[in-house]
Amino acid sequence: MAALLLLATSDPSIASTPPKAGAVCTKAGATKNFQGKRFTCIKDGKSLKWSKGVVIKVAAPEISPSPSTTPTQAVTPGPTPTPATSIIPNPTPNSTSTPTPNPTSPVDELSGKACNTENQISRIPSGEYWCLKDNNGILRWSRNSTPSKSSGTMFKQKVSDVSYRQPSQPSQDVNQCKIVQINHQQGELKSGFPSPIPSYKSAGTVKWALVPIDFSDVPGESNFMDRARPEMQFASDWADLSSEGKFKIEWQVYEKWVRLPGVSSEYYIPPESNGGFIAPAQQNFWQRAIVEADKYVDFTGVQAVQFILPAGQQVVRYGIKGNNWYDVVKNYTTGEGTKIDLFSVPSTHNDEPNSGRNYWSWWMYHFMGGLGVAKYGGNTATELHTYLIQGSTEGARELGGWLRFLVGWMPESRVYCRQASNLTSLDLTLIPLSDNKTQGIKLAVIPISETKALILESRRETKFSCTTPTERNGVLAYVYDAGLGHMGEYFKAVSPSGRADESYSCYASQSRDLLLHEGDRITYQGITVELLAHGNFDQIRLTRTS
């Protein structure tokens, strides 16, 4: 035994000699803890040297949380993942659209029955149903128990049998439809081509960390994961669907509250500091939160940190979010050597009861800004505001086809391009943006001039959408103006007239139904677009009359 003990301690690099980064060691893979860091003996060329060391994380102190409460946030129901330290998003939904069932009896006729298109919504007299996977991965209708704020009679669209057909004329080179944005200032978010350079990874699988933070006088509730799980799942599902599986979020959850030093009043954001992350009060919140969290959380490989606060808190009223173009974010390095690309702290605004607001759409709006996507419009609601997640986080919550094309989330094989000058008559079948299973055209771009293009895409209500009394399934037609960019109305809808404003099932601004439905037609600068048939897909005809 004495010989064995002597042998185990005879290597000076793993005995009493303190390790020093870059100093010579003798046994590859040996580790030693010193002054709060773990050093590893690694091979450097032909020699062995101690690594730089990694900060040793400890568990956050055990703090008695406030009693479990009913979450004050109105969370849209969705599939609930099993609690874990890592939540992997579901596979890309099989989103082939199917005609919405329209039973006439007001009984619960759909719950548990098989359906075909994940995230599809069906609203019938007995209620609203979502097509979701059950515990066995089978798609079945599930009743949405969240009361709708919409009023009035539900108007459903006529549904026909529509098969996918190839375009009656072949597409031109898609590069002819990459409208170049003009008057773009360097460093400004973009609405047009060339595609913006993202500030962080936008393809592949990334890791996001959910970190709960609380205060001694505002303790967190014990059941915070009840409100966090659906938000994480929705964010993962939205990213997967919108990117056609190109971008996936893997969640890492720190399952204890991280208690920030001091009391909550020290972190209060005054109204004059709610104008953005340039405010010192917001930057100070980030610095104190990340430094404290870094003592306990392993941030290895983490792209984004989504903090959450205790339910019912009144410390952060309008939210804090920052990206890596701010020095206080860019210059911070975690104990593992990780650079965080973006973070957020949600607010009482997101948690307002019965509002339909959430965290996930706010997270994704923030994320898209880092991909260089321009915000649509200013703070005043316009017609298309609620149709785009870059316009409003309440409404359709859709990343439009043009913006998907711009950031590389719309495969070019799905884009139909034809110059207006080369258009006479054209029949097209459009696959809904939410259908990633069917191969074919999702986006039609018709350049009118060097700076403007008519754009057509097929929309469907999904589990991500706030809804209105009118079922908003059909074709959205809009014009892109390359002379407008960040904070501008770079899209203008071309829509049927005579429709009234409607309220959403969430606190979104009222808006008109802008979609073309079966039999509708619109004309823009001599080009008439008619929706011939609406069903699984949308069959349209374009005719140039002048």
Question: 523 and 429, same structural domain?
Answer: yes
Question: 240 and 329, same structural domain?
Answer: yes
Question: 475 and 365, same structural domain?
Answer: no
Cα dihedral 134/236/355/352 (nearest 10)? 120
Question: 349 and 390, same structural domain?
Answer: no
CA-to-CA distance for 276 and 320, rounded, in angstroms? 7
Residue 196 resides in a domain: no
Question: 523 and 406, same structural domain?
Answer: yes
Nearest alpha-carbon partner for 27 in 47, 6, 4, 52: 47
The total domain count for the chain is: 3
CATH of the domain at 327: 3.40.390
CA-to-CA distance for 474 and 489, rounded, in angstroms? 22
Question: 426 and 325, same structural domain?
Answer: no
Confidence at residue 28, expressed as pLDDT on a 0 to 100 scale = 86
Question: 450 and 350, same structural domain?
Answer: no
Residue 122 resides in a domain: no
Residue 538: strand pairing partners: 430, 534
Measured CA distances, 283 to 277, 323, 327 (Å) = 6, 11, 10
Cα dihedral 527/532/534/538 (nearest 10)? -50
Confidence at residue 44, expressed as pLDDT on a 0 to 100 scale = 85
Residue partners of 40: CB distance under 8 A and separation at least 6 = 29, 30, 31, 50, 51
Residue 72 resides in a domain: no
What letter represents residue 202's amino acid?
S
Which among 370, 402, 434 is the end of a domain?
A: 370
Question: 284 and 355, same structural domain?
Answer: yes
Measured CA distances, 391 to 38, 186, 365, 495 (Å) = 47, 22, 9, 18
Which among 370, 397, 422 is the end of a domain?
A: 370
H helix intervals, 243-306: 280-293
Residue partners of 9: CB distance under 8 A and separation at least 6 = 15
Confidence at residue 546, expressed as pLDDT on a 0 to 100 scale = 79
Residue 515 lies in domain: 174-189+377-544
Question: 267 and 336, same structural domain?
Answer: yes
Residue 61 resides in a domain: no
Question: 338 and 235, same structural domain?
Answer: yes
Residue 98 resides in a domain: no
Question: 351 and 420, same structural domain?
Answer: no
Confidence at residue 329, expressed as pLDDT on a 0 to 100 scale = 98
Give 74-93 as a DSSP string.
-PPP---PPP-SEEPPPPPP
Which among 349, 370, 391 is the end of a domain?
A: 370
Residue 210: strand pairing partners: 253, 306
Residue 325 resides in a domain: yes
Question: 381 and 363, same structural domain?
Answer: no
Residue 62 resides in a domain: no
* pLDDT tens-digit profile, the chain (546 residues): 433 333 333 344 344 578 888 889 888 888 888 877 888 888 888 888 888 887 778 777 776 666 554 333 333 333 333 333 444 443 333 333 333 333 333 445 678 888 877 666 665 556 667 677 777 778 887 766 544 444 444 788 999 999 999 999 999 999 999 999 998 888 899 999 999 999 999 999 999 999 999 999 999 999 999 999 999 999 999 999 999 999 999 999 999 999 999 999 999 998 888 889 999 999 999 999 999 999 999 999 999 999 999 999 999 998 999 999 999 999 999 999 999 999 999 999 898 888 889 999 999 999 999 999 999 998 778 899 999 999 999 999 999 999 999 999 999 999 999 999 999 999 999 999 999 999 999 999 999 999 999 999 999 999 999 999 999 999 999 999 999 999 999 999 999 999 999 999 999 999 999 999 999 999 999 999 999 999 999 999 999 987
Residue 244 resides in a domain: yes
Confidence at residue 53, expressed as pLDDT on a 0 to 100 scale = 83
